[in-house]
Structure 1
């Protein structure tokens, strides 16, 4: 698997989480007694296929990140880099700091990631050249304009994209540099890679891996993680 290529996990925690109504960025808020970002770091630290971890933080939170690492004590090579104004700027800083090989770009605001999910996604990437975790939509979705439904969407063809999103470093770097050079704003890595002509392949995500964007998300995820932990123990 992976042809002995190096695997780097890039945990993107460069945002400020303004919708959380808290002076503390959401990546440092506590979830079941641990900072949100620590959940992802612990996942990749325990995942045997990951060789190194890069944490991307706001420049004014680097010292907090170093203190977190001191308390956390990862076993793998670890680096902290400063993020940028936009998510794609933060990601490209992480990509530039990474070794050649496979990159798993993951949002720190998705603390429900597991080694099993990451392993399955890496297998998809190894077979197809990339992988993006996703979950099928459970809701009926429509296209609408000016508050009026234009057309329903086929629910079987609609997915919610998550992270990790996995690409080869040289391909992702080329895509992100193209976006920067052409002032393209993208919300995730798969968007720019699709614009660059790459077919994007889906890997199985999870409702546990949903993104924290508001205070209620944090409360719901804490319940889900506790329930998941109980099921594992049983």
Structure 2
């Protein structure tokens, strides 16, 4: 299946509460330049021509999404999220008809600064191993024990920091997630499930400004990066 013939859907897990953000609402609903983080994120995906649809997995009693124009956009499908990110992604994948014909871009709701250039790089990967955006480690990496004392220093030449989107064939990822969850594994990203299923996803070097808004100080940084992105436009 060539890049031009693939149908591409984005799946955005957005059911988390973002407790580390210390805010009065989930972090994806905090505002930057008059829009929620979620609107910036989904807008970046929908403005990328290969993406025809975005599946949003949100908490069942989410009171925020229905107030946004997103909820009335015909290109967006809303499904119930799960207790974990992996369950939310799985629910999104289950909503896809004929998943064997679909490629999915799974992207964090709180990464609003994704660029189309990075998406282009992901879509160049065409084999079943799939690919993820990631950053080569530049800092010295330490491994600790439970008392937060250093056990060893890792070789950073082989350490990458995973980002999103993560890009896989929908049916392959669906099976991998089902198997990993059934076996009780803690799945923190889609590549983890693919690795457990025997695949070796490609690492595609992303940008350092593709940050995940997690802590209060990240909000100002995302605002700065979005302002620079808008200047380029």
Write out aligned runs for 1:150-229 (5 A).
Answer: 150-229=151-230
The separation in 2 between residues aligned to 1:213 and 1:201, in whole angstroms, is 25
Kept in 1: contact 2:136–2:205 (CA 8 A): no
Match 2:80 to one of 75, 78, 82: 82
Q: How far apart, CA to CA, are the structure 2 residues paired with 1:226 and 1:138?
A: 25
- Alpha-carbon deviation of 1:70? 5.2
Which residue in the other structure is 1:141 paired with? 141
Contact kept, 8 Å, 1:128 with 1:201, in 2: the verdict is no
Pairwise CA distance, 1:128:
6.1
Q: Which whole-Å deviations, capped at 9, do the CAs of 1:158-197 have from their partners, x for residues lacking one?
A: 1110000111011101011112222222111101110110
Q: Work out the CA distance in 2 between the residues paired with 1:204 and 1:98.
A: 28
Matched residue of 1:2: which SS? Answer: coil
**Alpha carbons 1:208, 1:225 under 8 Å: kept:** no
SS in 2 for 1:95: helix
Aligned structure 1 segments of 4 or more residues deviating by more than 3 angstroms: none
TM-score between the two structures when normalised by the length of structure 1: 0.90
Counterpart-to-counterpart distance in 2, 1:177 and 1:223: 39
RMSD: 1.9
Q: Count residues in correspondence.
A: 228
Equivalent in the alignment of 1:67: 67
SS at match of 2:114: coil
For structure 1, the 5+ residue unaligned runs are: none
Secondary structure of the 1:39 match is helix
Q: CA deviation at 1:227?
A: 2.8
* Structure with the bigger percentage of helix: 1
> Structure 2 stretches of 5 or more lacking a match?
none
Per-residue Cα deviation, 1:68-109 (whole angstroms, up to 9, x for no partner): 2358x64x6320111011111111011111242101000001
Question: Which residue does the alignment assign to 1:131?
Answer: 131
Q: Which residue of 2 aligns with 1:7?
A: 8
Q: CA deviation at 1:129?
A: 3.7
Offset from partner CA, 1:31-52 (integer Å, 9 cap, x none): 2221000111111111111121
Match of 1:92 in 2: 90
> 1:48 matched to which residue of 2?
49
Q: Following the alignment from structure 2 to structure 1, what is the Cα–Cα distance between the partners of residues 182 and 157? A: 36
Distance 1:142 1:78 in 2: 41
> Would the alpha carbon gap of residues 211 and 70 (structure 1) be closer, same or farther in structure 2, given more than 3 Å must change?
closer
Taking the aligned partners of 2:141 and 2:67, their CA distance within structure 1 comes to 44
